[in-house]
Copies of this chain bind each other. A is one copy, B any other.
Amino acid sequence: MDYLVMVPGPTNVPERVMNAMLTPIINHRSDDFRNLYKTIVSKTKQVFQTENDIILLTASGTGAVEASVINMIRKGDKVVVPVNGEFGNRLADLIDAWGGHAIRVESEFGENPRIEAIEEAFEKNEIKAAYAVYNETSTGTTLRYLEKIGELCSNKGAFFIADAVSILGGDELPVDKWNIDICVTASQKALAAPPGVSPLSISDKAKKYLKSNPPPTQYFNLARYFKYFEENFETPFTPALPLFFAFNEALDIVLEEGLESRIKRHATCADAFYSSLSTIGFEPFAKLDARSNVVIAFNYKDGMDDSKFRTLLSEQFKVLIAGGFGKLKGKVFRIGCMGEVNKYHVMRTVSSITSVTNMMNAKTTDEPLGIAAEKLKAIP
């Protein structure tokens, strides 16, 4: 029996998408590739809800986020960064290391920083850009006021860059409507393709800036990608062809389902997880208004051992979930509720977690499966 992969990326990948990787190798300097790339770009625009340009990198999401920093930030630039988890921290650290000045607007993990504190940072400083992690994978929180940061940047003439690596395709994210200059995601999260391809959308304003300020490196130099795309519909460096074929197929699946249905399915599955596991005494890590629909984090009950819990889940039930990391290591478990997640995934995960909790003598009396099943009726 294969694993049910319920970690927050990589996710289970549909057979259609896996099989697309078997497409025979083509020359990446040929019309075959040019047509593939054009098709992927066109579909990616639909999924991003944008008219902006799209660049695809052969790299993980971290690589694409880094590309957004090294192309847009120069020495001394002041940058507002909401920080409420490890990925926000990592982003702010990268901006500082690269010579920028990250103005961290912090909150407790599990909550979102107050929007007023972000507004204040804009009022007190000459801000070049705001960088926001839309979904903080380390804590299972979503920054629900992304649109407001977009408005703020738009009004102040600042760039707005969204790290949407773990969420795009699984929750609302109309890139143009929310004034996002650069939006970054990755293939292996809510888009359910294998890892290794990371798309970015780039506004005309950002494109103009980065073309006239190229960074001192090559692989993530976005001006090079524009040059090759605009002249020949090619990538400057050899693309990971099988992953491009797979990503193309994954985009078809997203568009066939429709974004609206897909987002609703994620919300319903998330609701089922939160509701059902709460009844056996697990407390969601995130506050209600910050809870993510794509990464579900729960506190362990007192005395429950992380390693024992996840080993039992994996070895006895073939269900893979993630632990916490950074300062949450051992304190929370996290479920990836993304990509092709459906009612069978939720039921099997909830059932297995209930059984393992039982085996570890940490169960309360309520029965979560009926609750999950009731919630999941909302999925057609």
| A binding-site residues for B, Cβ under 8 Å | 2-3, 5, 7, 9-13, 18-19, 21-22, 24-30, 58-63, 66, 70, 90, 94, 97-99, 186, 188, 194-196, 216-220, 236-243, 246, 314, 320, 322
> Number of copies of this chain in the oligomer?
2
Min CB gap A31→B, angstroms: 9
CA distance A12 to B188 in the complex (A): 26
Known interface pairs A21-B22, A70-B217; A238-B7 also in contact (CB < 8 Å) = no
**Other-chain residue from B25, B220, B243 in contact with A10 (beta carbon distance below 8 A):** B25
**A-B pairs, 6 with minimum CB distance:** A196-B240, A97-B216, A63-B219, A60-B237, A62-B237, A60-B238
CB pair A241–B98 under 8 Å, yes or no, is no
Q: Give every chain B residue within 8 A of A60 (Cβ-Cβ).
A: 58, 219, 237-240
CB pair B22–A5 under 8 Å, yes or no, is no
CA distance A15 to B257 in the complex (A): 32
CB pair B98–A239 under 8 Å, yes or no, is no
Q: With CB as the reference atom, state the residue of chain B lying closest to A195.
A: B238
Q: Give every chain B residue within 8 A of A12 (Cβ-Cβ).
A: 25
Min CB gap A100→B, angstroms: 10
Known interface pairs A7-B29, A12-B25, A237-B60; A66-B195 also in contact (CB < 8 Å) = no
Q: With CB as the reference atom, state the residue of chain B lying closest to A240.
A: B196
CB pair B18–A240 under 8 Å, yes or no, is no
Q: With CB as the reference atom, state the residue of chain B lying closest to A57.
A: B59
CB pair A22–B19 under 8 Å, yes or no, is yes
**Other-chain residue from B3, B30, B243 in contact with A242 (beta carbon distance below 8 A):** B243
CB pair B5–A26 under 8 Å, yes or no, is yes
Q: Give every chain B residue within 8 A of A18 (Cβ-Cβ).
A: 21-22, 242
A-B pairs with beta carbons under 8 Å apart, 26 shown? A3-B26, A10-B25, A10-B28, A11-B25, A18-B242, A22-B22, A25-B188, A25-B194, A30-B320, A58-B60, A60-B239, A62-B218, A62-B238, A66-B217, A66-B218, A66-B219, A99-B216, A194-B240, A194-B242, A195-B239, A195-B241, A196-B239, A196-B242, A196-B243, A219-B220, A242-B243
Q: Give every chain B residue within 8 A of A21 (Cβ-Cβ).
A: 18, 21-22, 242
CA distance A240 to B63 in the complex (A): 12
Min CB gap A371→B, angstroms: 27
Known: A5-B25, A90-B218. 19 other contacts (CB 8 A): A2-B24, A3-B27, A5-B24, A10-B241, A11-B25, A12-B25, A21-B22, A21-B242, A22-B22, A27-B320, A27-B322, A59-B59, A63-B219, A66-B218, A94-B217, A97-B217, A196-B243, A240-B240, A243-B243
Q: With CB as the reference atom, state the residue of chain B lying closest to A189.
A: B238
Min CB gap A5→B, angstroms: 5
Q: With CB as the reference atom, state the residue of chain B lying closest to A94.
A: B218
Q: Give every chain B residue within 8 A of A22 (Cβ-Cβ).
A: 18-19, 21-22
Q: Give every chain B residue within 8 A of A195 (Cβ-Cβ).
A: 28, 58, 238-241
